[in-house]
Chains A and B, each alone.
Chain A
Amino acid sequence: MRKIIDWFKRHMPTKRKIIQLYAALLFNANIKGFITGSIYTGPLKNVCAPGINCYSCPGASAACPLGALQNSLASSNKRLPYYVFGIILLYGIIAGRWICGWLCPFGWIQELLHKIPTPKLKKGKITRILSYFKYVILVVFVFIFPLMYMLRDVPLPGFCKYICPAGTIEGAVGLLANKVNDSMFSMLGPLFTWKFVLLVGFIVASVFIYRFFCRFFCPLGALYGLFNKISFFGIKLEKSKCTNCSLCVSKCKMDINHVGDQECISCGECIDVCPTGAISWKGSKIILHENEITPTDGATPIGVVNDQDASSEPKAKKKRFGIKKKPLQIIAAILMIALLGGAIVHYNFLHEDAPVTLPTEENTDGTKELVYSLSEDGGYYIVTGIDDTEDTVITIPSVYSGKPVAAIAADAFKDKTQFETVYIPYSVTDIAAGAFGGCTEIKILCEVQSKPEGWLDGWCESSAAVTFTGSDVGMLCPTYTLELYNGETFNVKENRGSLTVINFWGTWCTPCVAELPHFDRIASEYDGQLSVIAIHSPLNVETGGPYIDEKYPGTKMIIAKDVSINGKDYYYSLLGGVSSYPMTLILDKDGIVLFRTEGGLEYETLKMFIDIYLEG
């Protein structure tokens, strides 16, 4: 029994490993996202996680500080990035690179990979020099590229787009792994290939080189390292006790010159090898006084592994749990478990994405030849038939003579084979059996999402095509009225009769901005044959109009605004968008969705689809 306990004690993970696992779980608490294949879109993404944790990971519960910084810099001509700078300063002054050693999920992944017992590449002068490369990455990819392209009104998060392996493995691979996101495969191209190759390189290198990415590439670590000297938490060296034996530097796997410099991730492994106890944790006191290491009440400082009695004897064998179990630590552990449990409950059970409800726009412009009769209780009208008409497209209004049109009688359209299309509005909740009997070629387009309960069986006995409203290919596009930047409105229903191309974009989105010229060109070349509607997302919506006026004066595109309802981009969600921009739909003359894609489109691809659809 004792041997078993001893074995457990020898092989138990350290506190740091437990906290790293805890942090990885906390910052990826949205486990539901892996099942649904979508990202968390709740309000808690106002907050940035301290380490690198891509916001596009389905499990991510907070924003990434590096991504937020680049995006803020990319839009700094509209709004100065105070918030992100403040967050990074706050994290830096509180913890510095202690975050890298204890809280960063990607750092934890690299340490796990490094545990595979292969020969390792040792640090040396060359690795020390190479460790400055991350400052080049920081300056060039995080600051200069977003700022230079900000001058051209093109949002470019340079590091996220070209280098970040966390984005590839957590975001891209995490989303693609779910079958719900199969449509994203069509977006993959040279950029994904490059980033995947880079990701594999980082993973393989991490096995042989300790924290390969952190040491040589991580710009966030470079930023945090600047605060190491003055941060509240971390490692400090008492120079008066230091004998320069350099055991700490030898033991350390990072490229430090001395303990606590900008490369130190405060893992604490040097504390136990120091023979004079010169190395200790900073976190025990907020305000430092000279020569004070231990609190005057004699209690052992938080995080200190060995007694700080300044003994010059060689330290005893490392204690894994050598800290006294004080009540404060127990309370802290309980609070941490409660926080993690609360986060998991909130993200997975309490937070529900509000459903997007179909708009219910009243329509009184129905086909004039329709015949109505008032219901027995006088509350609604029933369509009982139709007089002779040359129209082949019949629209039933939702309101007639001030009352809703709620039913279609039996035989109303029986054997009326001259009609091609019938639009049934949302207000109709009862269709009698045989209402469309004999109409084998008719297209019945219902402005509801599925067959309502009131519709009797046999209301459509023929093999006529029945289409309900939805956003998938083959469904009837929901009807809505958009607000345009020029103050007018645009009703999608009124545009029926010609091909419609709808593009959801944003000035904050690089591929959106990159493909806009293609839509402008299509709108010009096919003017009169189709309509191109570019709908700007609610994020930075005020920038859409001026952007178009400047870059595309006299464009034939119809520029509209999306609105935010319950935290969702309303029209984007209405047409099936989940979270990725840009999104493009093509509707036929009846409003049926012919084509839908997420991701950027090339001009040739767009033109090819339009030519096919125009030819019929």
Chain B
Amino acid sequence: MRIYTQRGDIVSDKKKKLIFLIYGLIMSVVIIAVGALFIISCITIYRSAEDDPYSREVVAEAFSRIAIFVYILLFGIAAGVLLRLTVSSGKGDIDDHIMDMKKRPNHRMIRNRLARKIDMQSCPPELSQKILRERTIRLISNCACSIVCTAAGFIALTYLLNAANFTDEINKSIINAFAVTALWCFIAFDMTVACSLLINNSSIKREISLIKEAIKISGVPSPQKCENDNYLAINIARACVLVVAVTFIVLGVLNGGMGDVLGKAIRLCTECIGLG
């Protein structure tokens, strides 16, 4: 395979795609395999002894068994760097081959843009009623989603803000608190939001087609200027937050909070960094 085309510049796009595809698939397998091996080795060491399973010798021995795969991975990364430097024509080139950069329509933004173009009063009544109906559907969907999310959050907080649920068995309490409540509540939140997004998306698509029909029927659109953000409000917010921040820092220095930050930062709490 020639590196240079007859034009003398770069490898042709098709060949580039093929090279990176093959390389990518191989590297994916190697990376996942090495990651899995690291995890298995770590768990094996931990389960090998009840007390003090870890030592430098044990860790070195365990990882020497998977060293060959790590070397393959490092070699693959080096090869990838070389590929980028030689085959690729520059930044973004590989992204074009690896990631699909097709423009994906953002229906919500299209709907907003189109909605600015039409005047609802000049729309035919049936069409404006249908458009209003779609907006109502979305409003109800968002409200329902908010209620469910609020309820899920309330249930989670009820458990999390109950001091009795946090016992001296810290790890057990944390696992219970997170896995049993917060996680399930978040799953409920996700599912609700996903349903709401589905409903909203299909409603927006219908509204877009209705708006386009309205534009066709009502003739020349009257464009409305899109207002920029309220810069006065932003500037006021900036000033307030800045003043509060500086005040808090000064208060913190005066009440010894800065000393606490230093004191904690120069002393290792071993469990806090995962040594436990």
Question: Which A residues contact B (CB, under 8 angstroms)?
Answer: 10-11, 14, 39-43, 45-46, 48, 54-56, 62-64, 67-68, 71-72, 75, 79-87, 89-90, 92-93, 115-120, 122, 125-126, 129-130, 132-133, 136, 140-141, 144-145, 148-149, 151-152, 154-158, 160-162, 164, 167-168, 171-172, 175-176, 179, 182, 184-193, 195-197, 200-201, 203-204, 207-208, 227, 229-230, 232, 238-240, 242-247, 249-251, 257-258, 287-291, 318, 320, 506, 508-512, 514, 537-540, 567, 569, 579-581, 598-600, 605
Q: Choose the segment among B78-86, B119-127, B135-143 that binds chain A (4+ C-beta atoms closer than 8 Å).
A: B78-86
Distance A68 CA – B100 CA, assembled complex (angstroms): 41
B244 touches A118 (CB 8 A): no
Residues of B within 8 A of A158 (CB): 174
Question: Min CB distance, A266 to chain B, in Å?
Answer: 16
Counted as pairs of residues, one from A and one from B, with CB atoms less than 8 Å apart, the total is 354
Contacting pair B39 A197 (CB below 8 A): yes
Q: Tell me whether A600 and B271 are in contact (CB under 8 A).
A: yes
Structural contact, A245 and B103, CB atoms closer than 8 A: yes
Distance in angstroms between the alpha carbons of A133 and B99 in the assembled complex: 25
Residues of A within 8 A of B268 (CB): 39, 56, 175, 579-581
**Residue contact B238 to A232, C-beta cutoff 8 Å:** yes
Question: How many angstroms between the C-alpha atoms of A240 and B229 in the bound complex?
Answer: 10
Q: Given A117-B94, A185-B59, A540-B263, do A11 and B190 touch, yes or no (CB 8 Å)?
A: no
Q: List 29 A-B contacts (CB under 8 A).
A: A10-B91, A11-B88, A55-B264, A72-B257, A79-B257, A83-B251, A83-B257, A115-B84, A117-B80, A117-B83, A118-B28, A126-B194, A132-B193, A144-B161, A155-B269, A161-B271, A176-B275, A185-B54, A189-B46, A189-B276, A230-B234, A230-B241, A240-B226, A244-B110, A288-B235, A510-B271, A539-B263, A540-B263, A580-B269
Does B2 lie at the interface of the complex (its beta carbon under 8 Å from any beta carbon of A)?
Answer: no
A250 to B102, Cβ gap below 8 A?
yes
Residue B7 at the chain A interface, CB threshold 8 Å: no
Collect the chain B residues with CB atoms within 8 Å of residue A243's CB: 113
Q: Does B274 contact A (CB under 8 A)?
A: yes
A162 to B252, CA, bound (A): 28
Give Cα A434 to B100, complex, Å: 86
- Is B38 in contact with A200, judged by CB distance below 8 angstroms? yes
Q: Give complex CA distance A510, B275 in Å.
A: 12
Query: B274's contact among A45, A171, A229, by CB below 8 Å, is which?
Result: A171
- 6 closest A-B pairs by beta carbon, nearest first, are A83-B252, A86-B248, A10-B90, A83-B257, A86-B249, A89-B245
B263 CB contacts on chain A under 8 angstroms = 508, 538-540
Given contacts A10-B91, A83-B253, A83-B261, whether A510 and B170 have CB atoms under 8 Å apart is: yes
Residues from chain B with Cβ under 8 Å of A81 in the complex: 252, 257
- Quick check: A179 and B56 within 8 Å, CB to CB? yes
B178 within 8 A of A: yes
Closest-CB distance, A190 to chain B (whole angstroms): 7
Question: Are B271 and A511 closer than 8 Å at their CB atoms?
Answer: yes
Structural contact, A600 and B257, CB atoms closer than 8 A: no
The answer, yes or no, to whether B61 is at the interface (CB within 8 Å) is no
Query: How far, in whole Å, are A268 and B176 apart by their CA atoms in the complex?
Result: 42
What is the minimal beta-carbon distance from B36 to any residue of chain A, in angstroms?
Answer: 8
CB neighbours (8 Å) of B244 from chain A are 86, 89
Could you tell me the distance in whole angstroms from the C-beta of A121 to the nearest C-beta in chain B?
10
Question: CA separation between A583 and B57, bound complex, in Å?
Answer: 23
Bound CA span A318–B59, Å = 48
The one of B80, B100, B102, B234 that contacts A229, using a Cβ cutoff of 8 Å: B234
Q: Using a CB-CB cutoff of 8 Å, which residues 20-69 of chain B contact chain A?
A: 20, 23-25, 27-28, 31-32, 35, 38-39, 42-43, 45-46, 51-56, 59
Determine how close the nearest CB of chain B comes to the CB of A87; give it in whole angstroms: 6
Q: Is the CB of B25 within 8 A of A197?
A: no
**Chain B binding surface SS class:** helix
Chain B residues engaging chain A, CB cutoff 8 angstroms = 20, 23-25, 27-28, 31-32, 35, 38-39, 42-43, 45-46, 51-56, 59, 77, 80, 83-85, 88-92, 94, 98-106, 108-110, 112-113, 160-161, 163, 166, 168, 170-171, 174, 177-178, 182, 186, 189-190, 193-194, 197, 225-229, 231, 234-235, 237-238, 241-242, 244-253, 255-276
Distance A63 CA – B166 CA, assembled complex (angstroms): 28
In angstroms, Cα B152 to Cα A158, docked, is: 22
Closest B residue to A196 using CB positions: B42
Cα–Cα, bound, A343→B194 (Å):
49
Residue of B nearest to A514 (CB): B170
Closest-CB distance, A291 to chain B (whole angstroms) = 7
**By the criterion CB–CB under 8 Å, are A125 and B194 in contact?**
yes
CA distance in complex: A71, B99 (Å): 41
CA–CA, A506 and B268, complex, Å = 11
- Chain B residues contacting A117 (CB-CB under 8 Å) are 20, 23-24, 27, 80, 83-84, 94, 98
Known: A82-B255, A86-B252, A204-B35. A54 touches B103 (CB 8 A): no
Question: Please, which residue of chain B has its CB at the minimum distance from the CB of A45?
Answer: B265
| Most chain A CB atoms below 10 A, which of B101, B163, B231, B238 | B238
Complex Cα gap A55–B265 (Å): 6
State which of B103, B249, B251 has its C-beta within 8 Å of the C-beta of A246: B103
A239 to B109, CA, bound (A): 11
Residues of B within 8 A of A580 (CB): 267-270, 275
Given A129-B197, A156-B170, A246-B109, A11 and B275 contact (CB-CB distance below 8 Å)? no
Bound complex: CA of A132 vs CA of B191, how far in Å?
Answer: 13
Q: Which residue of A lies closest to B234 (CB)?
A: A230
Please, how many angstroms separate the alpha-carbon atoms of A175 and B101 in the complex? 42
Interface residue from A133, A152, A251, A290 paired with B231 (Cβ < 8 Å): A290
Min distance, Cβ B253 to any Cβ of chain A, angstroms: 7
User: Which of A148, A184, A508 makes the CB contact (< 8 A) with B269?
Assistant: A508
| Contact A116-B31, Cβ < 8 Å, known A83-B258, A167-B274, A580-B270 | yes
Choose from B20, B197, B275 the contact partner of A192 (Cβ within 8 Å).
Answer: B275
Across-interface contacts of A63 in B (CB, < 8 A): 261-262, 264-265
* B155 CB, nearest partner CB in chain A, Å: 13
B234 touches A119 (CB 8 A): no
> Complex: how many Å from CA A290 to CA B260?
43
What residues of chain B lie closer than 8 Å to A55, measured between beta carbons? 264-265
